[in-house]
Structure 1
């Protein structure tokens, strides 16, 4: 990585629109001062923190064999998107393939310690989810199973203890005990891909479940008016709600209601798959088969256009979507993708753009139809500079 030699960054504060100068010393924000304005200043905001990344630009974290080079490549590509921290997400698969995937991620960090701050953990999404069609989503039915603590410990050992979030369904008889054991060792538990009852969700929260994975998705197409597991999770004050903001997974009206109910516990996630960032067209995937990626950024099954085949929009695009449709302002949309997920993981960057916080800063421009990332800085180091030939140093060195 290249050191950010100029120890100040000037731009417009994403919270107020006012011109500021951020002083950085030893990787920490030392001071933020108001300055005179300029019509050419870019915007400044905290780096994005993405709790769900399955793949990006042709790199699939769930398609074996996963290599350390794959993890390094996807990390560098995410820096271009303003992401300064993310959780590689390993989904339902055979026991051996899950073990191989988490081991490859851990090995990549051992080989290149510079990756560590960008990858604060792994998200294990499955296989302890609902076996029912609908809630199971695209996860392979053959590998879905009840929570198994011994198996989880085996995977955690392979991951060098880096599994930080586990998505499960509390409908399994032993789910409450499993949740409590996870929480006791510092692993956060999210409810997702579930058909759990009101009582099972309430018990999961009592045992320490703390979030909902892509709430409103991974569900039956038709639910009872009330009660149902979406309302039940919304009503639990202690649950953070992770939401996909691509404009396709959740209707605008649903996003608006969920954001209003959860307020500062609403989190934006990408849940990107490997086709994210690729050109529109037809593709063949190992999960959905033949799929179509539209110019608008919607990924659907070729033979069933109404069925989504995954998310292909980054957090940057999600933030743009929320504020463009006036579901919220720029500050709230950006906080949903940065400060709030950092707070959920209890990362030092939860302070955001404040004196004393790590200098994880994104410099960007607001354009008519896009947010353009100009520079991504982490702990005072430049990870990405637009138009630069050197990005994040040589991770493969």
Structure 2
């Protein structure tokens, strides 16, 4: 029988000390704790759940150099930053290049138990997106193409069944049939990188789309006041929307208004990190995205225009950003980075008996740029 272990810290919702007990990689009990010096205890929460990670720590899930070893290294770097569940994200590229990335992810999950646990699924973001500047973001225009169910099946075969989410623009002809087919296979369909009309967005939701990819980004620099695809997604109660709260992707007022429109039940945070996340500032050339500039404050932008080229700050910064920019409580910000996105990953991101023992112990005070981690536990194993 596996030995029972425990962590004690403050509950972000109540401020009171709690003890989480776990054994054999699973939570066995959550109870109030008697602890002296309650105010000095670090905070205790589920590990962060990030359903959009293209790369991290100098390691990429995309591009010509992707390997299983690179995926394993990416996961180890993510765990050090407090992310214990993720969807490795494969973006728009030539067909064989996307299959290469998916095969590398599948191989990494076969070879490494930690990677198999942390990568709860794969998110394919593109290539079925808008070809228009702004809406396309940093995705290469030459590889944007319409949805093809046969291509999706090839992706899923290469990923060994791990694809759990796709991002698609609903402007394509017959896209509703594609959405219905994919969602019927148990894969979450998310609207993003789109120039679709409100009517096309409603039709996509009717067909089974239930999510929005980093709303407010992957969008045109200028839009009609109304109607437009942002209002349509904000008003659609059947859609839950992802947001990047790193301070670069959405201004404070925009993030605040969007969160209020969706409500905390239908919102979640993502990092959207690229491989350059965690790297020194400077100008880089990337195999997917071209020339980019990483600034000291963590902004990753296209070197040739004003558009962002992904993100360079982990989800722990997004939690702090949601507190700082949108005025959320720490508990609410954590919910947007744990339980809410955890619905996409089989219910992870909560402190419930029977759930995986994925835990973070950290310090945080208002104004901090990120969570200051003390410990990270993944599947009952203290790793950092």
TM-score, with normalisation over the residues of structure 2? 0.94
Contact 1:54–1:272 under 8 Å retained in 2: yes
Contact 2:53–2:87 under 8 Å retained in 1: yes
Indicate the SS of the match to 2:274.
coil
Residue in structure 1 matched with residue 121 of structure 2 by the alignment: 121
Residue in structure 2 matched with residue 48 of structure 1 by the alignment: 48
Output aligned runs, 1:100-249, within 5 Å.
100-249=100-249
1:11 to 2:9 alignment: yes
Residue in structure 1 matched with residue 250 of structure 2 by the alignment: 250
Alpha-carbon distance in structure 2 between the residues aligned to 1:130 and 1:307: 15
Contact 2:211–2:240 under 8 Å retained in 1: yes
Residue in structure 2 matched with residue 342 of structure 1 by the alignment: 342
Alpha-carbon distance in structure 2 between the residues aligned to 1:374 and 1:357: 22
Contact 2:4–2:23 under 8 Å retained in 1: no
CA shift in 2, pair 1:87/1:173, >3 Å: same
Alpha-carbon distance in structure 2 between the residues aligned to 1:50 and 1:4: 29
Report the Cα offset of residue 346 of structure 1: 4.8
Alpha-carbon distance in structure 2 between the residues aligned to 1:325 and 1:35: 34
Alpha-carbon distance in structure 2 between the residues aligned to 1:114 and 1:318: 24
Indicate the SS of the match to 1:308.
coil
TM-score, with normalisation over the residues of structure 1? 0.91
CA shift in 2, pair 1:294/1:363, >3 Å: same
Indicate the SS of the match to 2:63.
coil
Contact 1:18–1:37 under 8 Å retained in 2: no
Alpha-carbon distance in structure 1 between the residues aligned to 2:105 and 2:304: 34
1:36 to 2:35 alignment: yes
Residue in structure 2 matched with residue 390 of structure 1 by the alignment: none
Residue in structure 2 matched with residue 291 of structure 1 by the alignment: 292
Indicate the SS of the match to 1:253.
helix
Report the Cα offset of residue 288 of structure 1: 4.0
Q: Which runs of 5+ in 1 are unaligned?
A: 386-397
Alpha-carbon distance in structure 2 between the residues aligned to 1:357 and 1:14: 19
Number of aligned pairs?
379
Contact 1:54–1:89 under 8 Å retained in 2: yes
Contact 1:32–1:354 under 8 Å retained in 2: no
Report the Cα offset of residue 326 of structure 1: 5.1
**Deviation larger for 15-24 or 204-213:** 15-24
Contact 1:94–1:143 under 8 Å retained in 2: yes
Indicate the SS of the match to 1:205.
helix
Report the Cα offset of residue 379 of structure 1: 2.6
